Amino acid sequence: MKVTADRVSSESALSREDLVVHPLSATEWRVSNSRLSPEDAFSLLGFIEKKGDYFEAMQLGRGFEWFSFTRLEDAITHFLEIDRSDCAPDDYVLSWMPSFA
C-alpha cells in the first residue's frame, strides 16, 4: 500500500457519502474514505465487527481505539467524527508491518 494523501484539512470534513463500508463477512465491515484511492493506506479508517448485541468499531490512527455502539449506523457515523487534520499520512503507517515495496 502507498501513502500519498496530503494532510486532511478540517474544512473538508467527511460526509456519510464519502464513507465506503465494505462487508468482509456477515458480521465484519471495513470503513474507508472514498475521496482517496483504495491503494492509499490513509484511506482506511477502521473496521466494525458485530459482537453479540453491539457493534465494535476499531478506529485506526496513531494506534488503535475501540468504541461500542448498539446500532451499525451509529458505528459507521463514528468514523465521520475522526479528526485527522493535525496528522500526516505517515502517522498512520503501521511501522511493524512488513514493507512490500
The pLDDT value given to residue 87: 63
- pLDDT of 99 over the 60 cut: no
Cell numbers found for residue 52: 453479540
The Cα 72–Cα 70 span in angstroms is 7
Q: What is the largest CA-CA distance in the chain?
A: 41
The pLDDT value given to residue 91: 59
Judging by DSSP bridges, how do beta strands 54-60 and 44-51 pair with one another?
Answer: antiparallel
pLDDT in tens, 77-88: 999 887 666 666
pLDDT in tens, 33-62: 998 888 887 788 999 999 999 999 999 876
Enter the pTM of the model.
0.75
The Cα 55–Cα 72 span in angstroms is 6
pLDDT in tens, 14-31: 888 999 999 999 999 999
The DSSP code for 101 is -
